[in-house]
């Protein structure tokens, strides 16, 4: 029978999916077979009559899981399902459905990874809170805590202990700014452990892990790719605005690599300056097409140009809301997170607690 681990997060976009993938990679590397399930999804949607959850879909693809989506996501709380529950037209026994699918697979693997929701308050509408799921499936829990400050990290870790109870094996403190790493390791970690909360890892904030792909920028901006669509998989770590004089543009753009430059479609001088520095994409606002010279230069060096109808201010706002909420499943991100886990996660302690050898 599999060891069952429930990976929870206190707040959305904390790195829960990354932790699931990273742990899965390590288990497979160590020779263990794994299964995966997201017991309750509040992010699911319906496409062509089939329920889709992006996290479950990517995990299925990464690990070549044979299970259909309805088994990976037993309880999909789409808006339509939620409305039916509230109106009383849907009275499905979600708990029994979850248990049945879980029992179908738990005896055929070494580790069963359960990915929790975006926070510890999800699932109550169907009687499947994080703690109840952990108890129902006899799972041990790991909570990932996004670092915003020393105070919130401690409060969130103690909240996870309160909400998940005895099922909690420990927490992972994630996205800690590098200048705070020593303090968190030497002061915050012992403070929490004195209060019964194990800290399995302190993970640093890395810009690459918070980056977004050029393709995601196209999607969020509803933009048009004018050239070099093959560059849409490139990752953008910085956003720079080209609203300066041409005299200062080159020195300004040279300060950042792996960047997207946002500028008006009527500024060919700024556009050309951006293309002469390490730039992942050029975002032209105001729905103004670039000159053939700019297009030719971009094609020559392989930099996508994205045309958007928004003004520069609106474009920046849209991107800022999206940054840090990008999906995790790009190859570069996976490789980096896997390396960080190897360096910082206490696998010996985890394996000892759950009985893996």
Kindly state the average pLDDT of the residues 237-255: 81
Cα(47)–Cα(124) distance, integer angstroms: 25
Helix (H, G, I), strand (E, B) or coil at 260: strand
Helix (H, G, I), strand (E, B) or coil at 138: coil
Lowest mean pLDDT among 51-60, 74-83, 311-320, 326-335: 326-335
pLDDT in tens, 18-47: 999 999 999 999 999 999 999 999 988 888
pLDDT in tens, 99-144: 999 999 888 899 999 999 889 999 999 999 999 999 999 999 999 9
Report domain extents, the chain.
3-208+327-354, 212-322
Q: What is the pLDDT of residue 195?
A: 97
Kindly state the average pLDDT of the residues 48-77: 91
Using pLDDT thresholds of 50, 70 and 90, give the confidence band for residue 328.
low
Kindly state the average pLDDT of the residues 71-81: 94
pLDDT in tens, 302-318: 999 999 999 988 998 89
Q: What is the CATH number of domain 3-208+327-354?
A: 3.40.50.300
Buried b (16+ CB within 10 A) or exposed e, 267-302: bbebbbbbbebebbbbbbbbeeebeeebbebbeeee
Kindly state the average pLDDT of the residues 189-193: 98
Cα(295)–Cα(9) distance, integer angstroms: 44
**CATH T-level assignment (fold) for domain 212-322:** 3.40.1390
Tokens in use for 218? 């196209």
Q: What is the pLDDT of residue 13?
A: 86
Q: Over the chain, what is the mean pLDDT? A: 92
Confidence check: pLDDT of 331 > 90:
no
């Amino acid at each position: 029978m599999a060891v069952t681990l429930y990976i929870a997060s206190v707040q959305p976009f904390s790195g829960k999916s990354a932790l699931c993938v990273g742990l899965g990679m390590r288990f497979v590397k160590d020779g263990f077979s794994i299964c995966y399930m997201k017991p309750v999804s509040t992010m699911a949607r319906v496409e062509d009559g089939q329920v889709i959850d992006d996290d479950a879909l990517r995990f299925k693809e990464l690990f070549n899981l044979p299970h259909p989506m309805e088994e990976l996501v037993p309880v999909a709380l789409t808006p339509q399902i939620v409305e039916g529950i509230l109106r009383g037209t849907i009275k499905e026994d979600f708990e029994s459905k979850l248990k049945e699918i879980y029992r179908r697979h738990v005896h055929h693997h070494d580790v069963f990874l359960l990915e929790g929701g975006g926070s510890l308050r999800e699932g109550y509408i169907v009687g499947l809170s994080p703690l109840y799921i952990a108890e129902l499936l006899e799972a041990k829990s790991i909570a990932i805590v996004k670092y915003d400050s020393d105070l919130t990290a401690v409060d969130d870790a103690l909240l996870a202990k309160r909400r998940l109870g005895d099922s909690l094996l420990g927490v992972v403190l994630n996205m800690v700014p590098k200048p705070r790493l020593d303090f968190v390791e030497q002061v915050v970690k012992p403070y929490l452990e004195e209060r019964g909360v194990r800290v399995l890892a302190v993970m640093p904030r890395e810009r690459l892990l918070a980056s977004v792909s050029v393709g995601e920028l196209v999607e969020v901006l509803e933009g048009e790719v004018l050239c070099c669509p093959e560059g849409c998989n490139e990752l953008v770590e910085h956003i720079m605005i080209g609203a300066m004089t041409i005299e200062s543009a080159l020195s300004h753009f040279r300060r950042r690599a792996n960047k997207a430059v946002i500028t008006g479609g009527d500024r060919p001088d700024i556009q050309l300056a951006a293309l002469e520095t390490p730039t992942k994409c050029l975002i032209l606002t105001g729905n103004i097409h670039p000159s053939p010279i700019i297009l030719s230069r971009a094609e020559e060096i392989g930099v996508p140009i994205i045309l958007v109808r928004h003004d520069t201010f609106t474009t920046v706002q849209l991107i800022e809301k999206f940054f840090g909420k990008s999906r995790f499943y790009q190859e570069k991100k996976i490789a980096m997170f896997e390396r960080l886990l190897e360096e910082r996660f206490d696998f010996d302690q985890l394996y000892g607690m759950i009985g893996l050898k």
